[in-house]
Amino acid sequence: MHLILFFIFGGFCVAGALNLLFQRHPINSALSLIVVMTSLAVLYLLLGAEFLAAAQVIVYSGAIMVLFVFVIMLLNAGREERTHGSKAAYAVGIPGAAALLGALVYIFLSNGSTAKVSDYIVNTHELSRVLFRDLLLPFEVTSILILVAILGAVALARKEH
Amino acid sequence: MTSSLHLWLIPLIPFAGFLVNGLLGRKLPKALVSTIALVAAAVPFAQVVYTWFQLGGIPLPYVEHIGTWIQTGAFNAGIDFQLDHLTMVMLLVVTGVGFLIHVYSVGYMAHEEGYWRFFAYLNLFMFFMLVLVLAENFLLMFVGWEGVGLASYLLIGFYYLKNSAANAGKKAFVVNRIGDFGFLLAMFLMVFHFGTLSFSGVFSQVAQHPAWQGGFLSAIAIFLVLGATGKSAQIPLYVWLPDAMEGPTPVSALIHAATMVTAGVYMIARAHIIFDRSPLALTIVAIIGVATAFFAATIGVLQTDIKRVLAYSTISQLGYMFIACGVASYASGIFHLVTHAFFKALLFLAAGSVIHAIGGEQDMRVMGGLRRKLPVTFWTMTAAVFAISGWPPFAGFFSKDEILYQAFLSPNGGKALWAIGLITAFITAFYMFRLWYMTFFGENRGEDRQLEEHGAPVHARSDSTLVLEAEPDDHGHGEGIHESPWIMLIPLIILGILSVIGGWIGIPSAMGGHNAIAHFLDPLFGTPPAMVGALEGSNTLALTLAGVSFAVVILGWLCAHILYFAKPELPAKFAAKLHGLYTLVLNKYWVDEVYGAVFVAPLLAVSSYLLKGLVDTGIIGGATYGSAYLTSGIGAIAQRLQSGNIRSYAGWLALGAAAVLIAVYFGFGVHFH
Amino acid sequence: MLTDHILTLMIFVPAAGAFVVALLPRKVRIIRWWTLIVSIITFALTLHLPAHFEYGKSGFQFVENYSWISSPAIRYHLGTDGLSMWLAVLTGFLSIVGVLVSWRVIEARAKEFYFFFLLQQTAMLGIFLSLDIFLYYCFWELSLIPMAILIAMFGRERGPRTALKFFIYTFLPSALFLVAILWLYAKTGTFDYVTLHGYLQNNPGLFPAGAMFWVALAFLVAFAVKVPVFPLHGWLSDVISDAPTAMAMVVAGKLGLYSIIRFNLGLFPAQAREFAPVMIALAVIGLLYGACIALIQTDLKRLIAFGILSALSFCTLGIFCFSVSGLDGAVYQFINEGISGAALLALAGFLHERFGTLDMERFGGLAKKLPYMATLFVITTLALIGLPLFNGFVSEFLILSGSFAQHHGWVFAATIGVILSAGYMLWMIQRIFYGPESSMVTDRPAPDFSPREHILLWPMAVLMLVMGVLSPFWIRAIDQGVSALANQPVQTISYLEKR
Amino acid sequence: MNTTPQVLRILPEVILTIVGVLIMLIEPLHARGKSRRSLGWIAVVGMVAALAASLFQYTLPAGTAFFGTVKTDAFSVFFHVLITGISLVALLVTLDATNAETEGMGEFYALIVFGTAGMLFMTCAVELLLVFVGLEISSISTYILAGFRKRSAKSPESAIKYFLLGSFATAFFLYGIALSFGATGTTHIDTIGKLLASGTTPLLAIAGLALIIIGLGFKVSAAPFQVWTPDVYEGAPSPVVALMSTGPKAAAFAVLLRILYGAFPSLHGHWVPILWWLAVLSMFIGNLGALRQRNIKRMLAYSSIAHAGYLLVAFTALSVDGIAAASFYAVAYAAMNVGIFAVVSHAGEFNDRLTLIEDYRGLAYRSPLLGGAMAFFLISLIGIPFTGGFFGKFYVFTAAIHSGFVWLAILGLINSGIAAFYYLRVVAALYTRPTENSPVRFVPRPTMPLLIALVLTIAATLILGIVPGRILDKAQAAAETYPSITINPPVPVDQPVTETARR
Amino acid sequence: MVPVSWYLILSAILFSIGVAAFLIKRNIITVFMSIELMLNAVNLTFVAFARQWHQVSGQLFVFFVMVVAAAEAAVGLAIIIAVFRSRNTLNVDQVDLMKL
């Protein structure tokens, strides 16, 4: 059961990602990214992280992607044209990416930790305990982060006078 | 020591004169300048004479230690002066003749600008020359040695605005440097083998080791000879002396006839202990001497510039002295040195007086018939001519004869030396009388001057300003040809007398004299080895040889008389007949040209093309800039990565990432588990 | 008591002076007078050394030794011996000369000029007097900057380019030099010269021959560039001809040669003896090479440059023969070179002031117009070609006779240089001063020496003569300084042959 | 657990946050177009306070707080002081270079302040999560600051480049954290270290290490992750470059040190060779790239790459000396680089009127102070004695040679030789006579903030160069918070020498 | 049941696709999306490991990453807008004013 679900949604993820890669229109790419994220949420569920699954759907697919789509609309970005800006990107980058993938996969396989994922559910209570006790400071600090983000968005988006 | 002679004063006083005139002369009046100069030359002469009379009371050699000059852990050299018989003779000649020439110059240079400069240099020369003869070690001697070279450089280049003069000066100095190069190496060898350069030290060591024969002693001796050839204008380094005639005539008289050029002979005599151990070196000296004597004489035959004739005769006479040294008869060499100083100085001074009289002209072809116009000059000159060509009882006869006699007696190849010497004697007589006739007899050819006939100095006349400083003729043409002032004539007369009687100090026993100078020098040289076997019973031989040489001299005079007095048209005919030989000799065997082509030109060419062009600019410069360009070229490649395109940047990042990942993982370094 | 810190005083008086210059108003007269005063004071201070130097007392004197930085053990260690003493004095003397030479030349930006000039003095004194290798290195590097900037700002037209060339040439090797120093420190834990010297001498063969070989080589190359030794002289002629005279005087010779003696002979005697054959060959080649190229130069300063190359090669020859006389001669030679060379460059500078060119083809017959200039030119020239009674002769004779024992052949070749030097120098004199007056000389109104120039040059001329006659006065100290180096026990571990 | 109030352990950060918020609150009170300088001064005061607080932290006993997420020890405090110092000068420079009509200065100051807070968190955090957040704060604020020159098209470009590539690298960093978490099950640096030291090393840890190095390598612009640097520096406002070429780098280096020596000491066999290569690459690419640069900011960008290389040399030393040298070099580099950018941003002003090196021709005439200062900093960058630059290099290479990396030292010093070339070109330009219409004629007189900034930086550079003792001791103390890894150095000392000798 | 390494490989694949997308896509916004994709891949890794080690902190890390991502998105899009204003293009290949 678990296995099947993993394959289905894992497949969805990859398919979405590839679609993002091959779609020429940003909107389509955005939508396919949403697909990836939502199916990731399912995988989270499989891994027993309901809270994260929820957050994934709400924050990512909800907020962030909406923001993307909004901007795409705002700047009404059309189909991207295949300009030839850089040979290096292909000549160097793609092999690099491939090598990266290869290396990682090799490592994960030869890692040997075939620890099966037991079905163990994190209850949100414990989650919050850790979050608001051990990780209190980082949590508070993120507020600065967000503040900075807002500031920046305002400062940048503001028109010159 | 009994009583100090204060030898150090002898060189120091001329030096003082040099300083005063050199620094202040520009401002001082001529009278004062000349007084200072004369005093600075006279006092040493007086002191020398005084010392001469002291000789009895002083054990010779007498040494004065003034101070330490160079001192290092390994080696030291002092400022030491020494007096012995040889020095004594040299001192007398140098100061005596030197003083006379100073006197003469006062008249001769009277109208020169830079008068003060001239006398300053003259005193400087006296200083160095005296240091040279007084020195007690080779290093100090070398000071004088190079110093006189410097003085002659300055004096030859006295008319520095004339390119020829400046060139001659430079040539003299550089050629002398080649000689000094030999001297230096000889000194290095001595330091290496004896650890000292003082005469006493070196000679005593040589004396202590009779085993030392040839070997490094020959090396030292030969290097010394190289030095001597430079200073004494012998083959192969004689080339500078003829050009040196660019200097004022008194200079030629003092430096290039009487004193400096004899330094080489003096040095060989001084170092005779070393030479005695090296037959090889002696042979070389003899060969050089005889070759030079003959060679220079032949050139002298065709020269038309009066001073150049004298220059070549000087070279040739020095050759005689070398022959003497070469046959280890140093005393006779010194003897000839002395007499030669007298008559050659006289010849130059007289020539100077002639030149002075006819307004700076040096070309004999435009002289002639001056006999009546310049009586004193004529008579003194005559004395000198007879002396040099060796008429008895003039000075030259005895000294030259002594040399030929010694050569004849000397075991190794002496006969050949004697024969060539004899021929040279003939040539000498010939060209000296040629000069005599061309200058003083016939009618004056001075009026019909065509420029094409004129020699180099005449060309210089084309630039009038030059000549005004070059030669004192501002009054030359004014009231026609005239005798020189007395201040110039007195020295002529004195030297004239000396060149008549000067030789009597060395009349050989064969002719009823008792070779005074030889005996005087005996304590230094001992009896020349050649004499040993030949002392008694050889009177007849001596007389016959003398007779032969005298006959030869007369022959020479006859030829000259016929060619240049009786039948003046003949020389042209001969020239036409023996054209090849004539041009060869006329161009002095093209030696200068050959040297130029063989040494100077290649050196300059190599320097400018190979060294400067190829090595310095090409290789070294190229390496510098090449590497610079290379680096910045690589820099350009490094920049190329910056295409400015985000995606390519990301590409590099990705590649780098992959590389790092793989490197770390499969990577170098320690392996785990 | 001030005299306990005499060396510190010497080093930092110029620096302080420079600092004041920076604060002074931009008035040329004030600034140059101030600089003159400062350099006179410096010179006076340096004279304190010979006055109170204790002969026959081995080791360093006037020592100051404090800890500067603890954790890498860097000490502020100053001291002088017979080797460095006269060099310090010479530096002080030349600083005065430098100011007087620049007197009229430097009008614009005088402030910068004299600031860096004084800084340069500090750096050079520091080099001669510091006994902690790190401290030494600091001064060594520091000396590059004022030099480079002055060449760039005040040089002839190609100034900046030359400055760059000079800097790179000297900076790159000293990078490797630094590596070598650090390596030594890593191994021995000290930068202190004295300690290090004792340490290396007492346990030789402590480090692998290979390592020591490369370390010594790094030292040597850094110094050889600064001398410069033959193939590394690429910068010399440009710098000499482009740099302001005051800098050209001090750029070559003493720094590098001193360092070679102090470090390569002092710390690495065995390696130095290993390098000797090569160095001697290079020295003689450079000697003849420089002379030959000088023969055909038409630019006066370039001629001088190659003359200097040739004259300095004598020193290299003397140093690497390891004989007492040779070393004495070498040190004496580069002191002499410092004086005579400076004088000649000063004269060239004055000539340039008057005629704006140094192309000898355009001169001629100048002696008539500028007799004093001519006289001093001749005197200096004679000193440089080693005429007896001048300082040059003593040193050259010592070097050659001292080296003769080991290397007949090389010395024979080197002595030829004596002939060549006479050749190019006299030819130079002839082309400038003798012969008929050239059009330029006649056209250009040029006054003879000003009082300043007299004051500057006559003492130098006299000095050349005095040093030529009374050499023991100087050599006594030098002898004491170098004799230890000449005959120190060396077990010869030959690294190259081992391979 | 000690009794120190926890807040004291993050006092500087707290102060900065408060100040930042304060600025944002006051900002709206200023009418549009009115000068915001007062805000700038508030920021300065706040920064001074933070600096004081950091210095005060030296008095605290070393210890952790907030459940072991932050740790104040000699190391973190050292970098606290450094970074607050840098930001202080950067603020002064900003005050000098900007003028009333520059838009949104309120945000500008606030961002600098917040960004500094982020960097401080990076240096004191021992919990990778906190490190990550701090990193993001500092990065994001610099992304924004880079885009602040809206007038010029270059500024947004540099912002977007920095942003995209930065986040790209962040992803790698994050992945690295993830994998090391996977290897050990914790994200607490020291714990990771303990766990890895005991027992065998899972491959995951190695991969994680590699990815972390990649991410941080980008932040410190070490080759081959340096590509972004020149473009970003060229486009960003000079005051910002003054900050981001030093502050975030220092922080990132601190983190790198923390992680390498705190979490992965046992893997040194793996990361030392990598850092060796990164160092060499950075030095060469940086210096060679700078050789032909005509734009001064790009040239300085390349030089900063090279300096990152020098700093990485110290990392390989595997010893207390190494860490100390790295820390010291960070200080020295910061001093001179901020200094030179202070001059550049004053001369070029906010909108970069002077871009090319030729534009600086004759600055020393227009203003001897500026020209002299700039020349001084350049000389220090070359690494001439009696300047911080020299001692920095000196310590770094001493450390390297001590642990036997003779070749690294040789290459590095050769590089410093190459570097001299392009620095001197600028010096020469400064001191050549300006032409009639050369832009330096319009360089404004130095203002008070600039003077303060210059005094601070010059003083720092000189002190570091002449009496570095105190600071070096601090660096030493900072270094000693980590046990130096005394495994036999990979290369025996004289090996490279002899074996090359044998060739 | 599924071994953890499968999840890891999946994440690796996603990550690499993200990288590739970053290299290939021309539209800045899409490029930015590919970064988000990479972040998501990392998140998956975290969750997987969190599961393997029974560690909550892993999941919390993901939580923080989301926040950061949100912040980045806000800023990033703002920057993109600024770029669009100044260049009026969204093509990365045309954002190369500064080079060499």
pLDDT tens by residue, D67-89: 889 999 999 999 999 999 999 99
Q: Is B209 exposed, middle or buried (0-12, 13-18, 19+ CB in 10 A)?
A: exposed
Interchain contact, E12 vs A108, CB within 8 Å: yes
Evaluate if residue B37 carries a pLDDT over 70: yes
Residue A63: predicted pLDDT: 87
Question: Which positions in chain B touch E100 (Cβ < 8 Å)?
Answer: 639-640, 642, 644
Q: Do D118 and A136 touch (CB under 8 A)?
A: no
Contacts of E96 in chain D (CB under 8 A): 157
User: In angstroms, what separates the C-alpha of B635 from chain A's closest C-alpha?
Assistant: 19
pLDDT in tens, E11-54: 999 999 999 999 888 889 999 999 999 999 999 999 998 888 88
Least CB–CB distance from B177: residue in C234, C323, C419: C419
Cβ <8 Å between E22 and B650: yes
- Determine the pLDDT at residue D496: 35
CB pairs under 8 A between D and E: 119
Instruction: Give the tens place of pLDDT for each residue, C53-79.
Output: 888 788 888 999 988 888 788 899 999
Numbered residues of chain B with Cβ closer than 8 Å to any chain A Cβ = 641, 643, 645, 647-648, 650-659, 661-662, 665
- Distance (Å) from the C-alpha of residue D248 to the closest C-alpha of chain B? 19
pLDDT at D392: 92
pLDDT one-digit tens code per residue, C72-88: 888 999 999 888 999 99
Q: Give D136's contacts in chain A (Cβ within 8 Å).
A: 145
Residue A122 confidence (pLDDT) = 66
- Write the residue in D398, D432, D497 that is nearest to C160 by C-beta: D432
Asked if the Cβ–Cβ distance from E3 to A116 is below 8 Å, we say yes
Query: What is the three-state SS of D331-389?
Result: HHHHHHHHHHHHHHHHHHCCCCCCCECHHHCCHHHHCHHHHHHHHHHHHHHHCCCCCHH
Residue D418 with chain B: CB contacts under 8 Å: 631
Pairing assessment for the beta strands B76-83 and C61-69 based on DSSP bridges: unpaired
Nearest CA in chain E to B646: E92
Confidence of residue B443 (pLDDT cuts 50, 70, 90): confident
A neighbour chains, 3+ CB pairs within 8 Å: B, D, E
Q: What are the tens digits of pLDDT across the range C128-162?
A: 999 999 999 999 998 988 888 888 888 877 877 88
| Chains C, E in contact, 3 or more Cβ pairs below 8 Å | no
Residue of D143, D259, D264, D274 best to disrupt the B interface, most CBs of B under 10 A = D274
Q: Is D157 on the interface with E (CB under 8 A)?
A: yes
Residues D205 and D260: beta-carbon distance below 8 Å: no
CA D185 – CA D191 distance, rounded (Å): 10
Position D489 pLDDT exceeds 60? no
Q: What is the pLDDT of residue D2?
A: 53
Q: Which residues of B touch C475 (CB under 8 A)?
A: 70-72
User: Which of D180, D196, D214 has the highest number of chain B CBs within 10 A, making it the mutation to test binding with B?
Assistant: D214
Least Cα separation, residue A42 to chain E (angstroms): 11
Question: Cβ–Cβ of B631/D217 closer than 8 Å?
Answer: no
Query: Which residue would you say has higher pLDDT here, B65 or B360?
Result: B65
Check residues D368 and C425 and name the one with the higher pLDDT.
C425
Q: A93 to chain D, minimum CA–CA distance in Å?
A: 13
Cα separation, B267 vs B255, in Å, equals 16
Total residue count of chain B as it appears in this document:
673
Distance of residue D170 Cα from the nearest chain A Cα, in angstroms: 15
Question: Within an 8 Å CB–CB cutoff, is residue A155 touching chain D?
Answer: yes
* Chain D CA closest to residue A142: D133
Check CB contact under 8 Å for D213 and B655.
no
Using a CB-CB cut-off of 8 Å, the residues of chain C touching B606 are 292
Q: How far apart are the first and last CA of chain C?
A: 56
Among the ranges given (B255-269, B495-509, C113-127, D297-311), the one the predictor scored with the smallest mean pLDDT: B495-509
E98/D157 touch (CB, cutoff 8 Å), yes or no: yes
Give which of D79, D112, D102 is closest to D324, Cα–Cα.
D79
The predicted-structure confidence for B626-664, as pLDDT tens digits, reads as follows 888 888 888 888 777 788 888 888 888 899 999 888 888
Query: pLDDT of chain A along its 161 residues, tens only?
Result: 788 889 999 999 999 999 998 888 889 999 999 999 999 999 998 888 888 899 899 888 888 888 899 888 888 877 777 777 667 778 888 888 899 899 888 888 886 555 555 556 667 788 888 888 888 899 999 999 999 999 888 888 776 65
Partner residue opposite D209 with nearest CB, options B637, B657, B664: B664
In order of B141, B199, B541, C466, the CA distances from B144 in angstroms are 5, 15, 41, 17
* Closest approach of E79 to chain B, Cα-based (Å): 15
CB contact under 8 A, B70 and C483: no
Mean pLDDT along residues C273-283:
92
pLDDT given for residue B671 in this prediction: 35
Q: Which of E93, E94, E97 to mutate to test the interface with B (most CBs of B within 10 A)?
A: E93
pLDDT beyond 70 at D498: no
D502 and C187 within 8 Å at the Cβ level: the answer is no
From chain D, pick out residues whose CB is under 8 angstroms from the CB of C31. none
Chains C and B make contact, 3+ CB pairs within 8 Å:
yes
More confident residue, B474 or D92: D92
D356 in contact with E, Cβ within 8 Å: no
Residues of E in contact with A127 (CB under 8 A): 56, 59-60
Contacts A90 to E, Cβ<8 Å: 23
Q: Select the residue of B647, B657, B665 nearest A86 (Cβ to Cβ).
A: B647
Return the C-alpha torsion angle C457, C458, C463, C466, nearest 10.
Answer: 160
Say yes or no for a CB contact (<8 Å) between B72 and C325: yes
Q: What is the DSSP letter of B527?
A: S
Confidence of residue D327 (pLDDT cuts 50, 70, 90): very high
Q: Which of E52, E57, E98 is opposite residue D234, by nearest beta carbon? A: E98
Question: Between chains, do C152 and D427 touch, taking CB under 8 Å as contact?
Answer: yes
Q: How far is A106 from chain D (nearest CA, A)?
A: 10
**Chain D hits for E75, Cβ within 8 Å:** 140, 143-144, 163
pLDDT at B592: 85
Exposure string for B216-253, b = 16+ CB within 10 A, e = fewer? ebbbbbbbbbbbbbbbbbbbebbbbbbbbbbbbbbbbb
Please judge whether A111 and D204 are an interchain contact, meaning their C-beta atoms are less than 8 angstroms apart. Answer: yes
Closest Cβ–Cβ partner in A36, A94, A131 for E60: A131
Residue D488's pLDDT is 41
Q: Which helix (H) or strand (E) holds D63?
A: strand D63-65
Q: Which helix (H) or strand (E) is D211 found in, with range?
A: helix D203-219
**Is B630 near chain D, with CB under 8 Å?**
no
Mean pLDDT of chain C: 89
- Give the contacts of C135 (CB within 8 A, at least 6 positions apart): C68, C74, C75, C76, C77, C126, C191
Strand partners, B82: B63
Number of A–E residue contacts, CB under 8 Å: 246
**B572 interfaces chain D, CB cutoff of 8 Å:** no
**What gap in Å lies between CA D405 and CA D280, rounded to an integer?**
12
According to DSSP, the residues that pair with D361 across neighbouring strands are none
State the chains in contact with E (3 or more Cβ–Cβ pairs under 8 Å): A, B, D
- What's the pLDDT score for residue E4? 83
- Which residues make beta-bridge pairs with B81? B64, B135
ipTM score:
0.86
The C-alpha atoms of residue B261 and residue B264 are separated, in whole angstroms, by: 7
Which of C401, C422, C476 is closest, CB to CB, to B75?
C401
The pTM (predicted TM-score) of the whole model is: 0.89
pLDDT score for A46? 87
- pLDDT tens-digit readout, D159-172: 999 999 999 999 99
For D2-58, what is each residue's pLDDT tens digit? 567 888 889 999 999 999 999 999 988 887 777 888 899 999 999 999 999 999 999
Helix (H), strand (E) at residue B64: strand B62-71
Report the pLDDT averaged over residues D391-418.
Answer: 89
